[in-house]
């Protein structure tokens, strides 16, 4: 196991653990206001200080991790659930009208950055965490479709697929029984990367008010609240920012490490 993978997994696990523990325990109630104790820098009582309403920052970060993880995870799920079958279908029918339609559809969705999708959805439905999920999820679909198609195309040329075809298996069966298990590693690595991009996107959308709405705690929202007070209480901006950076860094390191670990060719060349 590489050092990157270990460090990345450790950081990611830490964030996940924080989010899970927040369901049963946080140092303080994350919505409880305590005006006399507002804007306190980190100390023994409040490990990460308090915000402008005197709320405990550490508790807010813990609960905010839930929002980030939930949004990014569901968005990756949407992307995989729709993107992977589309990519498999396109590869199975390479060169057909179906392939063409799927790939052109992909190009079209790619032209809508997730921020633009979020703007459209918010104009129609209003702001909220669900919109952020939909926006990031839609953006993920072509990513997974493209990567699945690319990997599947080269697999279709292989002998064991030819054997399966000779045995009379249908394109759909071959796709799910033989192609999918073989592209799984690639999808796991891409999933990790999209997950980290999802955390960043969620923070950005919440920051501009298109994502999670108060009182749902979110790291991006905390940064938006901190903006006007950054000169008097820098920790308001530092704490959520560092939380985002560490989470994304952890996931990226894990993604890179997983790619090296899961790709046998890279392992052989290292040995």
Partner 1 sequence: MLRYSLKRLISLVLSLVVASLVIFLVIEVAPGDPASFMLGINAQPDTVAALRSELGLDVPKWQRYLDWAGGMLIGDFGTSYTYRTPVSEMIADRLWVSLPLALFALTISTLVAFPAGIYAASRRGRAGDAAVMGATQLGVAIPNFWFAMMMVLVFAINLRWFSAGGFAGWDKGILAGLHSLTLPAISLALPQAAILARVMRSSLLDILGEDFMRTARAKGLSRGQALWRHGVRNALIPVLTIIGLQFSFLLAGAIIIEQVFYLPGLGRLVFQAISSRDLIVVESVVMLLVFSVITVNFVVDLAYALVDPRLRRRS
Residues forming the site for partner 1 (CB under 8 A): 104, 107-108, 110-113, 115-116, 119-124, 196, 200, 203-204, 207-209, 223, 226-227, 230-231, 234, 237-238, 240-241, 244-245, 248-249, 252-253
Cβ atoms of 145 and 87 within 8 Å: the answer is: yes
Conformational region of residue 126, where left means phi above 0, alpha means psi within -120 to 50, and beta covers everything else: left
Please choose, from the candidates 195, 191, 98, 100, the residue with its C-alpha nearest in 3D space to the C-alpha of residue 147.
191
Phi and psi (nearest 5°) for 215?
A: -90, 5
Q: Which helix (H) or strand (E) holds 223?
A: helix 219-226
CB 21, min distance to partner 1, A: 23
DSSP letter at 227 equals G
CB 149, min distance to partner 1, A: 16
CB 106, min distance to partner 1, A: 11
CB 32, min distance to partner 1, A: 26
Residue 15 C-alpha from the chain's centroid:
13
Q: Which is nearer to partner 1, 121 or 179 (CB)?
A: 121
Q: Which is nearer to partner 1, 152 or 223 (CB)?
A: 223
Q: Which residue has tokens 């325990």?
A: 25
Cβ atoms of 105 and 114 within 8 Å: the answer is: no
Q: Which is nearer to partner 1, 174 or 199 (CB)?
A: 199
CB 94, min distance to partner 1, A: 14
Q: Which is nearer to partner 1, 88 or 205 (CB)?
A: 205
Cα distances (angstroms) measured from residue 52 to each of 7, 49, 85, 207, 236: 34, 10, 48, 17, 9
Q: Which is nearer to partner 1, 98 or 120 (CB)?
A: 120
Q: Which is nearer to partner 1, 6 or 172 (CB)?
A: 6
CB 169, min distance to partner 1, A: 30
């Amino acid at each position: 196991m590489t050092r990157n993978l270990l460090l990345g997994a450790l950081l990611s696990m830490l964030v996940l653990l924080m989010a899970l523990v927040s369901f049963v325990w946080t140092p303080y109630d994350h919505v409880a206001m305590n005006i006399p104790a507002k804007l306190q820098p980190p100390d023994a009582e409040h490990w990460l200080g308090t915000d402008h309403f005197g709320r405990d920052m550490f508790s807010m970060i813990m609960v905010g991790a839930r929002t980030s993880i939930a949004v990014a995870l569901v968005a990756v799920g949407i992307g995989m659930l729709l993107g992977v079958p589309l990519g498999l279908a396109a590869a199975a029918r390479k060169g057909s009208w179906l392939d063409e339609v799927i790939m052109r559809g992909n190009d079209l969705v790619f032209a809508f950055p997730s921020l633009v999708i979020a703007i459209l959805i918010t104009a129609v439905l209003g702001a909220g965490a669900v919109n952020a999920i939909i926006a990031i999820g839609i953006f993920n679909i072509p990513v997974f479709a493209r990567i699945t198609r690319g990997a599947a195309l080269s697999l279709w040329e292989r002998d064991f697929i030819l054997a399966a075809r000779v045995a009379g298996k249908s394109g759909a069966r071959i796709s799910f029984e033989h192609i999918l298990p073989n592209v799984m590693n690639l999808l796991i690595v891409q999933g990790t990367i999209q997950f980290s991009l999802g955390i960043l996107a969620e923070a950005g959308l919440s920051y501009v008010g298109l994502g999670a709405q108060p009182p749902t705690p979110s790291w991006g929202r905390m940064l938006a609240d901190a903006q006007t007070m950054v000169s008097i209480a820098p920790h308001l901006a530092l704490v959520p920012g560092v939380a985002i950076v560490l989470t994304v860094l952890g996931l990226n390191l894990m993604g890179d490490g997983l790619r090296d670990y899961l790709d046998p060719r890279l392992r052989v060349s290292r040995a």
